[in-house]
Amino acid sequence: MLQAQIARSTRHRTLGAVVALTLVLVGATSAAAQQVQTFPGSSCQASGSAQDLSYSGVLAANRGNSTRSAVCPIVRSNGTEGWSLIAVYVRDRHSTLNISCVAQARDLSGTAGTGWSDTRSSAGEGDQAIVFAAPGIDLPDYGPYTVVCSLPAMEEANQPSYIASYVIVEP
């Protein structure tokens, strides 16, 4: 019992440290006022026709035996500006596969191939932040932003990889 409490406490401190570091880095990049919005991982929805994710509280997890994808919509506060940072907080529990996320900014109609996209991945197991910095290009005004993450299959019983939350920081 004590071991489980220590492990849980360590995970929370690790995730807390990642969140704090991200916020410090964001604060250091700009003195201007910024809008920070945080969304629970459970806001992400399974992608594709046969995709199943497990939802509990704030998490979206893959408890299946194959890789599954989740689409995480981002609600923007400033439709004519880009972002300062998008971060996806994940727990990677697969020993050989990483969580991979694609951030996308499209034109107002959502047309594929418009706007911008970038792919980032976790590195090994554990609590991690997958961070997308500002793209450095003009993005389509008012277009939708999304993050699509690919979660590896569950290797061990009751040890799924999951999306805990995601954040957008806008100027």
Q: Quick one: pLDDT band at residue 2, thresholds 50, 70, 90?
A: very low
In the block, tokens 């991982």 appear at: 41
pLDDT for position 25: 44
Give the structural domain span for 150: 2-170
d(CA 150, CA 99): 6
Q: How many Cα atoms occupy the beta-carbon half-sphere of 140 within 13 Å? A: 18
Q: Check whether 165 has a pLDDT greater than 70.
A: yes
Domain total for the chain? 1
- Residue range 94-119, pLDDT digits in tens: 999 999 999 999 888 888 778 899 99
8 A C-beta contact, residue 163 and residue 15: no
- Residue range 73-85, pLDDT digits in tens: 998 888 888 889 9
Strand partners, 61: 54, 162
pLDDT for position 46: 93
In the block, tokens 């940072």 appear at: 85
Q: Which two tokens stand for residue 101?
A: 């996320």
Query: What CATH number corresponds to the domain at position 43?
Result: 2.60.120.260
